[in-house]
Structure 1
Amino acid sequence: MLIRNRLVASLGASLLGAAALVALPTPAQAANLLTDPGFESGALTGWSCSGGTGSVVSTPVHGGTKALAGAASASDNAKCSQTVAVQPNTTYTLSGWVRGSYVYLGVDGGGSTWTASAPSYQQLQLSFTTGASQTSATVYIHGWYGQGTYHADDISLDGPGGGGGTDTQAPTAPTGLQATGTTSSTVSLSWTAATDNVGVTGYDVYRGATKVSTVTGTSATVGGLAANTAYTFTVKARDAAGNVSPASSAVTATTTPGGGGGTGFKQAAPYLYLGWGNPPAPATVMNATGIKTFTMAFILSSGGCNPAWDGQRPLTGGVDQSTIGAIRAAGGDIVPSIGGWSGNKLGPNCSTPEALAGAYQKVIDAYGLKSIDVDIENTDEFENAVVQDRILNALKIVKAGNPGLRTILTFGTSTTGPTSWGNRLIEQSKALNAGIDVFTIMPFDFGGGADMYGNTVNATEGLKNKLKSVYGWDDATAYAHIGISGMNGLSDQQEVTSLETWTKIRDWANAHHLARLAFWSVNRDRGCAGGGVTETCSGIAQPDWEFTRITAGFTG
C-alpha cells in the first residue's frame, strides 16, 4: 500500500511539473462523448469489461435506474473501458461517481484519480490533454485486486468529439467474421476491422437479433450458451458520432458437448441456516475445517414477488448480510438457496419469468453473487409444470444479464435417478435453453435402513444418464454438471449417513469429477448420539464440524 501511495504521489508531481512548462489549450464547449454513460441501456453498451467482470445493476445507483458493478477479484481488477474519438491537442475533463474500496477513474496515457474508500457514491474528476496527432482516447474505471465489487455511475467525458459534430458517415461493415473456438458454453469470434472516415470506436456483437456484447477490438467471446447448440452471430461497427455500420456476414457455430470440460465449476458448500438451530459463527467453522463456501438458506417471498431471508428478514442491513460479510472477511463466499420444501416461495408468487428474474436479480445485486441455487421442491414448485418453466426462464434471463453467473438447480430424487418431475425439469431446461450449470440431487429420505452410499451412487448415475440422453453429453461432461446434497447423520426417515459413508460419497464425487457437494446442515454438524432428528446436532456420535471438514476435501 505504501509503495503504491508513493507511486501515485510521484506521478502527480510529474504531471504538475509538466503543466508548469506547457501552455495547455482551453477546453472546447463541453459535451459528453461517452456511449451509455449512466448504464441505462442495461447492457454495458459501448463498454468493455475485463474477464466478464462487469454487469449492470439496479441498486445502488447514483442517478437514473442503473449503474455499473465491477466484480474485482484476487486475479482481476474488473477494468471497464470505452474508446471514443477525440480531437488532437485538446483538453478534456473526465468525471464519474464511484462507490467501493480503491476505485480508479482514468484515461490510458493521460493519468488517473482514485479513492481508497467510498462507502457511498463519491465523484472523481481529472483533466487531460490529447497529443498533437491523437484522434482517440480510452477511458476506464476499475477496482483493485481482492477489494470486492465496486459500483460506478454517470461517467462523463466532456469536450469536442473527434467527428467535429458533423460526421454522418457510417463505418463499413466488418468483414471476415469467423468462429475461432468453442466450448460447451462459449463461442469465440474474430473479424477484420471496419473502416471509417473519422474512426471506429467499437463493435456490437449480435446473436441472432440480440446484442450480446460490445467490444473495442476485433474479437469477442460470447458466453452463457447451451452445450451442443448452434448459434448465429453478426457484428456491426460504430463510430464516435453514433453512426452504425451494416451487419457483417453471418457465421454459425455449434457449442461442443463438453468432452469432459464441463462447466469448470466446483463448489463444496454445506448449508448454513440462520433461522434456527443455534447457527455457529462461520469463521469458527472455516478455521476448524478449511471450508470456504456456504449455501445460505432460505430466500423466500415476503409477500408477492419480494425476496427476503425466510420471507421475513431484509436482504441488507440485518444478520444475514453481516454473516455474509464475516464469511467474506475470512476469505470465503456464499451461494444463496432460493426456495426449499416449505414456506411462501417466489416461484408461485412471481407471475412471470421476467418478474421472477427481477426478484433473483435483487438477491444477486445485494451481494454481488457469483452463483445462485434454486431449491425446487414440493407441489407448489417442483410438481407444477407452469412454475418449473417460470423458474427455468427466469434463470435464463439472469444468466444472460450477469456474465459469469453460475446457476444451480437442487431437487429430490429416487434411488435410481430423477423422478418423472425431475425428468421433466431436465428436459425443459434443454428445450428452453436455460443454460443450467449444475443439477444437484438430494439423495435421502428414501426410508429407514437405506444403503446411503449405494443409493446415492445409483441416483447420481441415473441423473448422469438422463443428462446424457437429453443434452447429448458424454459421461465426463454429464458428471461435471452434477451436484450431490446429502443429509448428515440421522435423516427425517431415520436413515443414517455416517462419517464413513459421507467420506465414501465425497471420494466417489471427486473420482467422478462432480461439480458440487453439499449437505444439510452445518447447524446439525455436532454430535449428539441418540439425540434424534434435531436442529442443532446430527443425532449420532461425531466430533463437531466433522461432516464439514470432510466436505472441504471435495475438489471435483
Structure 2
Amino acid sequence: MERSAGSRRRSRRTRPVLGGAMALLAAGALTVTGLTGSAQAADVNNARNAGFESGLAGWTCSGGSGATVSSPVHGGTSALKATPAGQDNARCTQTVAVKPNSAYTLSSWVQGGYAYLGVSGTGTTDVSTWTPGSTAWTRLSTGFTTGANTTSVTVYTHGWYGQAAYYADDVAVTGPDGGGGEEPGPVVPGAPAGLAAGAATTTSVALSWNAVSGATGYTVYRDGVKTTTSAGTSATVTGLAADTAYQFSVSATNAAGESVRSAAISARTAKPNGGPGPVTTVPKHAVTGYWQNFDNGATVQKLSDVPANYDIIAVSFADATPTPGAVTFNLDSAGLNGYTDAQFRADIKAKQAAGKNVIISVGGEKGTVAVNNDASATAFANSVYALIQDYGFNGVDIDLENGLNATYMTKALRQLSSQAGPSLVITMAPQTIDMQSTSGEYFKTALNIKDILTVVNMQYYNSGSMLGCDGKVYSQGSVDFLTALACIQLEGGLDASQVGIGVPASTRSAGSGYVAPSVVNAALDCLTRGTGCGSFKPARTYPALRGAMTWSTNWDATAGNAWSNAVGPHVHGLP
C-alpha cells in the first residue's frame, strides 16, 4: 500500500584481484621463516581481551562494524563478529605492548567471510595473512620481529568489501612479555536487545531476549519494579492478573554491575476464557479497508470515523524494530490531529463491540520487515502476538511488498496461530505479480496456511497489464482484469472464501488501476453469479467469494465514502 512514491538504486563494488596479494603474503611468509628467535616456555600472550570475553574492551572497530556474539565461538563464551559495509572493510585493531628486538607469533581463529590478520608498526617488516572464508573455525598464523626501538605494535583483523561478516576469536601475540598483556577486569555489560513476549496465560507471561556478552545473569522488571532474575535468556513472570497489560524490561548483570534496562515492551495476560482478545466472526462476505496511521493528504480519521460498511479494518502499519522480524506499533498522535492512545484503544473495542474486526497490518510500500530465518520468524510471531495482547487486535495483515520468504513466513504465522488460537484473523494483500503463479512465494505462503487463512485481497492496481487464468493478457482498470486474475487464485488452490478483490478507493489513492465502484460490483457479480462479465467469463461461479478490499478508508472518506457506500452493500448482498 502506498504512502508516497520513491525508488533507490544500489551501486556494486568490484571485488579486487587477490592473486597479487597472495603472492606478496607468500613472500612475507618466506621472510618470516628466517626470523631469529622463537616462542619459549616463558612467552606470554600479549594481547588483551584476546577472546572478547569482555566485549570489545581493548579493541576498536571501524564504523561500528564490530560486535561480540555468543555463537559461533571458538573458545570461552564470546567471539568477535565484524561486518563489512559499503567502503568499510570492518577493520578491528588493538595496540599491543611488545619488547624491542624480539620475535613474536601472531595468530587467531577465524570463520565466515574473507578474514585478514596482520600487524603494523613493527619497526621491521609488517606482515599479514588471510583466508577467503570458511564454514568452520580456521587458524591464521604468521610471525614478526620488532625493531630496536619498537615498544608497541598494532594488531588488526579485517574483512573485505561486499563480503559476508567474519568471526574472530582467541587472538594471540605470543612472545616476550611486553608489559601490557594483563587481561582487564570485567566491565558492566550492555543492555539486552530483542526482548519479546511469548506465550501468556491468565496469570503469567513468558519473556525472552538476546544474550549479552560478559553477562552472568539478567534481571526482569515489571512496570519498573524488579520481579525476577534469570541465569539464561528467558524467564516467565508469574502472579499476574488476567486480561491485564504490563510493561516489561530486562537488564544484564555481572561482577562489575548492572546494565541499563532494555527498551520496555507491553504484553497482556490472557482472558479468563483463554482467548487473546475479543472474538468476532468475519462475515461470509466481507469488506476490508486499510486505516492510515499517518497523514499523506487523505482525510485524517479516527477509527471511530470508519464507516460501518467495513467489516475488517487493517491498521496501517506496524513498524519494524532493530530485531530482525520483530514489529511494534506507534500511534502517530501528532499526525492524526492529537488522536490519543487511550481514544485509539477505546475505538478498537467499540468497533469490535459492533461486530467488526480490527487487525494490525505489517508492511506497506515502504515496509522493511524481513522474515527469512527461524529466529526472525519467532520474533515476528512473538511481537505480533504481543500487539494482539496489548491492543486487542483480532489478527494480522501481511502486506510485504519488498519480498517474502514462504518457508519462514509460514513458520511465523503458524507460531502466531498456535499462540493466538482459532479466532485469529489472517489477511494478505499481495501485488498482482505475486499471485501469477503458485510457485511464487506469496502464493505458496497462502497455500501453506490455507487451513488458518482468512482472505487474500490481491492489489489489482499499480501493475499494468497481466496474464489471466486463460493465458490472455488483460489491462488493469477493467472487469476482465479483476475477474481473470481472481480466477488464477480460485483455480490455483485457494477456497473462494479466501479470495477478495483489492482496489483503490479513489483516483488519488494509487498510481494507476482505479476502477469505478460499479466495475468492482460487476466483477463480484461475474465471479459469484456469472453475470456482469466482460469478454472473460469464468468456467464456473464462486458464490462463496469473500468480497472486496480498498486502500484506504481515508481516501474513501476524501471522495465522500463513494466506494464503501456503493461496494459495501453490494458485497453484503452477495449470495
* TM-score (normalised: structure 1): 0.44
Point out the structure with max Rg over C-alpha.
2
* TM-score (normalised: structure 2): 0.43
